[in-house]
Structure 1
């Protein structure tokens, strides 16, 4: 569908300190706490299910209409979440009030992030999965963490060294093997190109979100980004209404699932994790998404992975464990 982001680890992995506006990195709080690990695991599972959900609902919904329906559901869920948080806390930073919202250039960048990820990424991925299976799409999008890890070194000042570098390299080999197993079939060239475009938008979104999380909290950013993405997708409203009338209930429930779970909940947990981990380390964890997607698509859609894909998935897992362990 998406996602998609989530204190620095102790040695041996070190990174150049980043500016941050969150309270989570202060007073020497230990990174990779169990809440953060659990949030990362939740994100991986929900984002993997999104690839399967898109493949399932894509038989009855066109790419733009599905993206709009998904984001309407996500925006509604996030609005409820923000309203509840605002009620439970006295004047929290995440409350949707004039004094708590970003302004000027920051607000513009949040809107750009929302349009690129919630709008462009969703439409491109939806279109790709009409031409390639869910597992192959996930494997191609998995190129994004490599782009993020490299760009994090150049843009965010992070250092891709030691354990993280080796883990990323091993995971990349795994992704390459799984992708190669997909290309032995009948991979559509346009579908592959659209999936690669999704990966580029994914990487751009992660880097921009990491920067913006230094200025605001993850729930507010996710909520505003979802509203911006929804607004950008409004031209697809007439098509969505037509397809809603004709689509079977399971497909419509699939679109609603994509909005509430992989998008609303998945992006909240992703933002939580990225605000505590570096961009490179967080996206290294998302190498788990392709093998989980392959397993889900095998179980739910009957798309049986090739032995080479299973080997690649094992390498992905090995790379993630190696990159994220202390």
Structure 2
């Protein structure tokens, strides 16, 4: 394989065009339109629609003779405060739009890599199974959960997520929880008589951070009103990270103890997921080889700080690598983008991976 094939301007133009098309299709509530686009765009692949109850369907092409799965989710978070979220713009080498990094830029690079592979290997079958899943950005994550029921014969997976181009064999765990405080309200001019529930919540959070020696991420905070009276309730949705080697149940017990050290605070468990590790096995070696072939150097290793569908695949014994170029920290924000260079690199690595897997069949 000549590197010029995967770094050509033609390939890059294709990837950019695909990204613009994908961003222009909203996929934060209804996923059918983007899945219909993908099915038509990749019409040389035999896809099936896998129902996901009350959500829609996954678009899958699963073949036990192709034990490597490439998976990514097609849903995004809502626009939130992003202006013109579905009108992609390229500026200073960056392509902006909702889902540009998470994960439509990665989907665009996958489409381009598949096209180039097919063009250069007209007699060969696509050497991987594929799954475009839904519902990853929701709390339920039903898409990949349903997908696991049809992965017999699939031993390995590349889960495409923005990891800054690092190869991640580890995924941070989290404990998500709510804190609730209810007190009596007073006229605001007599606030000294009130036990302000918001301030009590702050005390609890400070106690958690001190006892557990880690920061608390506040996802949502509700308290107070516009009337001139002290609030009578406070409700916080928050989370803490679970680090490698920590026992999930033991950590949550310490968390609860830290909460209840402050009287009259209610703790509600929302969700919890332990730290995940995958071996430096077959999938790691293949993505490492593909990275080196495409970009001429060894990849950096990393830890994915966010939940991904790899968690569901791990439950059925699938060996995963989480990988993709893109800035995770700006994903979900009004500044989300992927650079043209990241798009190029991601396309190059995926094409190299397809080539390597085809040669080893």
Q: TM-score, normalised by structure 2?
A: 0.23
Q: Which has the higher strand share?
A: 2
The structure having more radius of gyration, on CA atoms, is: 2
More helix by share: 1
Higher relative contact order (CA 8 A, sep 6+): 1
